[in-house]
Amino acid sequence: MRPSRAGRLGWAGRLGWAGLGALLTLSGGSARAETPPDWPDVVVFCEPTLRHAMTELGAAFRASTGTPVRVFAAPGAMLVRQARHTRNDILVVEGSAAMDAAASIDAIRPDTRTAIGGNRLVVAQIGGALDKAGFAAALGTGRVAAVDAGVAELSGAATRQALDAAGLSPKLSGTVGTADAVFLLESGDVARAIVFATDVAANPSLSIAAEVPGGSYRRVTYLAAISHDARGAMPGKFLALLTSAEGQKRLRDAGLEPAP
């Protein structure tokens, strides 16, 4: 005995084409793919030295667009490793190598990468500024805190380059971030700290005792790009803010220099 037409069609025949269409629609299997909704905020991954600047820009962005900005900071190498696996919209890292690494794992949209500013190293202290007698004089003879002094990236590499160029070898206390350097300064464990200008701008208790000679270390430049999985128009608008006249002014107020 031959099976009925419904039997030959199996469960689809018994369900009926109308029922099958309804089931596919409910299960998300419709032929027409739906556009994912925009995220309700903009998530920014940035270097620790830029946390204050990105937070300030995020507040301005929310005031003008109503969209909140969430800022998460970590060293560049860690940001790149997490960028492809953790939801983010804008990636801001130091140097082309870090951004190249992000592009190599498809974590960013390469055509959106752009330089947003540079940073410089300074000798910081607690309290009022000195007469800025010079790099060596500002360091003195005591122990000096240096952000990421034990890490071959960020200010660690730049600090070593500057000290080698000046022929200086102070006793360094490596710190993970500026907060640790400030703690050592406030506790009296160190008298000076080598940090970025943005770190001083973000900490009212700090002042600049001396500039680290600019030609003694590789220029520090930050690049930003829209992440591969970003949704909607807001990430692009935030990136546009970073390079706009208003955004560049705010970045300068936060201690950054204009992008090269």
For each of the domains in the chain, give its residue range(s) and CATH number, in order of start.
Answer: 42-118+220-253 (3.40.190.10), 121-211 (3.40.190.10)
In whole angstroms, give the CA distance from residue 104 to residue 223.
Answer: 15
In whole angstroms, give the CA distance from residue 23 to residue 13.
Answer: 13
Give the CA distances from residue 190 to residues 102, 194, 214, in Å, rounded to whole numbers and listed in that order: 37, 11, 24
pLDDT at 223 over 90: yes
pLDDT at 23 over 70: no
Give the CA distances from residue 181 to residues 61, 147, 173, in Å, rounded to whole numbers and listed in that order: 30, 7, 9
The SS3 assignment for 240 reads helix
Name 65's Cβ contacts closer than 8 Å, sequence gap at least 6. 234, 237
Q: Is the pTM of this model over 0.85?
A: no
In whole angstroms, give the CA distance from residue 185 to residue 175.
Answer: 12
Q: Residue 69: which H helix or E strand, with range? A: strand 69-73
- Give per-residue pLDDT as tens, 72-131: 988 887 888 887 778 899 999 988 999 999 999 999 999 999 999 999 999 999 887 655
- Give per-residue pLDDT as tens, 101-116: 999 999 999 999 999 9
Please report the pLDDT score of residue 239 as a whole number. 97
Name 71's Cβ contacts closer than 8 Å, sequence gap at least 6. 44, 46, 51, 54, 55, 58
Share of the chain above pLDDT 70, in %: 80
Please report the pLDDT score of residue 215 as a whole number. 87
